[in-house]
A = this chain, B = another copy of it.
Amino acid sequence: MVKVAILGYGVVGSGVAEVLANHLDSIARRAKEEIRIKYILDVRDFPDSPFADRFTKSFDQIVNDPEVRVVAEVIGGLDPAFDYVKRCLLAGKSVVTSNKELVAAKGAQLLKIAQDNNVNFLFEASVGGGIPIIRPISQCLAANDVIEIAGILNGTTNFILTKMIREQMSFEDALALAQKLGYAERNPAADVEGHDACRKICILASLAYGKHVYPEQVHTEGITKITLQDVEYAESWGGVIKLIGQVKKLEDGRIQVAVAPMLIDQDSQLANVDDVFNGILVRGDATGDVVFYGKGAGKLPTASAVVADIIDCVKHFKARKYLYWEDGVKDYVLPYEESVVPVYIRAHAQDAEAAAVKAEELFGAVRRLYRDNAPEEELAFSTNQEWSIGDIKAKVDQLEQSGVTVDAVIRISDL
């Protein structure tokens, strides 16, 4: 029998306890050991919980108990999670976590400590909730060069965009609905500003290319500026707007990485990933495109991924799993200004036709886009050519100097 501890009894933590209890036999069969919860750490009391006798408020009790072989950290955030995880690894315990903030900020460091102490540090639940993605990338695709990873990594923003696209709801109304349904926090910044998606693409990029990518290195835009006009123009262009986290390997060894709203072609496999679902596309040189789809969050999906990691730790006490990346290096990430992309632009001007002529002067041939009941001053187009983000900014400035007001600039993805 293997004894485990759960740090944090919030939504995910209570789910982990529930999944472990409800699947006791099948888990024992898979892990070849019975897995029992010895401690649950929480500052609160849960006298009515079926696990009432396991609660403790003392992390020291857990870290000093040699019987505890695996610890599930589901507190979230960096403090005290980082300190707890580090001390557990140093004490020779394997750790699993759903904490994307922790892995995105401290992954390389914690993987190194795990390696030095011959224990495992696993985090399948940190990306895509219940969707298996960390394991498939690290194992099944081992015989591939990963050319690119791109995904809809945040369910809350995808829900909001879906409501805007399908029901012409405004961003504000869709956000309010998401909050009402419990999909969005009262302070929704981490979701709608793209920070959550950023942490996840950092983890995937680090895993796929072997060097840590830090959130500060990643250009991150959210969806707060997306309007219903943009949604309409995206449709007339032939696609939808999605918040995409994307990373590509460049020929010079650097990577190009960003989180931003992008226009996605309607035929792309990511275009139909709607509501709170996540979809992650992995493009390998041998496999071609492989897409993983499912609920990216939620108590039980996330908990089941945490438990799968616990099982994997139990199966790998002797032969450590290979899951590792090095620390990041300076200049590893292409400066965002140098990314080369086509874009969609929405603008208005007293003379929209003259503005269109000016746009073609600056961007080369463009494709004009139209929507019903657009004001006469409105102008929207997609560029046929690709330009660097730096060039695009300069051209937008020039366009504005000619008396045009640019209201939206959104990348067009190649997905």
Contact = CB atoms under 8 A, between A and B. Distances in A.
- The interface centre, meaning the residue of A142, A301, A307 with most chain B CB atoms within 10 A of its CB, is A142
A15 B286 CA distance: 9
Given A30-B322, A130-B288, A286-B301, 9 more contacts: A130-B290, A135-B135, A135-B140, A139-B311, A143-B303, A143-B305, A269-B272, A284-B304, A288-B298
Interface of A: 15, 19-20, 23, 26-27, 30-32, 124, 129-132, 135-136, 139-145, 269, 272, 284-295, 298, 300-301, 303-305, 307-308, 311-312, 315-316, 318-319, 322
B140 A132 contact: yes
Contacts of A295: 287-289
A123 B372 CA distance: 54
A289 B284 contact: no
A143 B286 contact: no
A300 B316 contact: no
B290 A269 contact: no
The 4 A-B residue pairs with the shortest CB-CB distance, nearest first, are: A130-B287, A132-B140, A143-B307, A286-B304
Nearest to A269: B293
Given A30-B322, A130-B290, A319-B315, A304 B143 contact: yes
Contacts of A290: 130-132, 292-294
Contacts of A288: 130, 294-295, 298, 300-301
Given A287-B130, A301-B288, A319-B315, A142 B30 contact: yes
Nearest to A20: B143
A124 B289 CA distance: 17
A135 B130 contact: no
Contact of A142 (B27, B136, B143, B285): B27
Given A269-B293, A288-B294, A298-B288, A141 B304 contact: yes
Copies per complex of this chain:
2
A124 B139 CA distance: 11
Given A269-B272, A311-B143, A292 B292 contact: yes
A291 B289 contact: no
Nearest to A287: B130
Contacts of A142: 26-27, 30-31, 307-308, 311
B130 A305 contact: no
B308 A141 contact: yes
A312 B315 CA distance: 14
Contact of A136 (B20, B135, B143, B284): B135
Contacts of A31: 142
Given A23-B143, A27-B143, A300 B287 contact: yes
Nearest to A32: B322
Nearest to A131: B290
A316 B286 CA distance: 24
Nearest to A135: B140
A143 to B, nearest CB: 4
Contacts of A284: 130, 304
A137 B163 CA distance: 32
Contacts of A136: 132, 135-136
Nearest to A132: B140
A44 B207 CA distance: 41
A145 B26 contact: yes
7 contacts: A23-B144, A30-B322, A130-B286, A135-B140, A139-B311, A288-B298, A291-B291
A352 to B, nearest CB: 36
- The interface centre, meaning the residue of A19, A294, A311 with most chain B CB atoms within 10 A of its CB, is A294
Contacts of A32: 322
Contacts of A23: 143-145
